[in-house]
């Protein structure tokens, strides 16, 4: 059972995530052509799928944490494993597509935020294992780790949704390039 002092966090996370899922559907419906064009289809689908995955993941973990007497460790392990499987399948898909186009997969792998998915999935599985190992006691450190993972999932999902709008790539490396004065949008790269 989750201690009462953590309950408000999971209630807020569930509500926030539910709203973000709705906004993601709006973002996807605003630019439906980007999902059909050959040049943008893979990026559009990958970004929208990744955002939906982490939002759904955060929503499920938040709601599961609110169920009385829940074994949250199992929920975290399954959710984290799902993120890791998605990351692996997406990387494989991008590498296969890059080979078919005789293009390097490096830039495309960065576009999907693969490292972010690996961190999210890895820490989620780690927290779940710690929660199961501590049972029947409750590992408060593992609960806090899971809470930070949920925050990370929301940040990641918002970044991918922002990219769907085509406003600007908000990934770490593109931000660092922008700070270094190499803005690809202005031909600085």
Round the CA-based radius of gyration of the chain to a whole number and report it: 18
pLDDT higher than threshold 60 for residue 109: no
pLDDT of residue 46: 79
Task: State the residue for tokens 């408060």.
Answer: 140
Sequence-ordered list of residues with C-beta below 8 angstroms from that of 21, at least 6 positions apart, any chain? 52, 55, 56, 59
Note the pTM of the prediction, 2 decimals: 0.78
- Encode pLDDT of 74-86 as tens digits: 999 999 999 999 9
pLDDT of residue 172: 62
Q: Do residues 123 and 149 touch, judged by C-beta distance below 8 A?
A: yes
* Tokens encoding 122: 């890895």
Domain boundary assignment for the chain: 4-179
* Tokens encoding 154: 């929301």
């Amino acid at each position: 059972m989750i201690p009462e002092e953590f309950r408000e966090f999971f209630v807020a996370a569930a509500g926030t995530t539910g709203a973000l899922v709705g906004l993601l559907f709006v973002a996807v419906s605003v630019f439906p052509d980007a999902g059909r064009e050959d040049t943008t289809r893979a990026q559009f689908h990958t970004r929208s799928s990744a955002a939906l995955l982490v939002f759904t993941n955060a929503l499920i973990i938040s709601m599961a944490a609110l169920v009385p007497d829940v074994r949250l460790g199992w929920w975290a392990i399954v959710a984290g494993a799902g993120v890791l499987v998605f990351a692996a399948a997406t990387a494989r898909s991008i590498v296969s597509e890059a080979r078919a186009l005789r293009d390097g997969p490096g830039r495309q792998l960065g576009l999907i935020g693969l490292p972010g998915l690996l961190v999210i999935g890895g820490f989620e599985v780690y927290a779940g294992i710690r929660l199961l190992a501590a049972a029947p006691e409750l590992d408060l450190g593992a609960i806090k780790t899971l809470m930070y993972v949920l925050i990370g999932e929301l940040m990641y999902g918002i970044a991918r949704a922002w990219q769907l709008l085509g406003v600007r790539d908000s990934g770490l490396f593109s931000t660092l390039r922008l700070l270094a004065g190499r803005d690809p949008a202005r031909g600085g790269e």
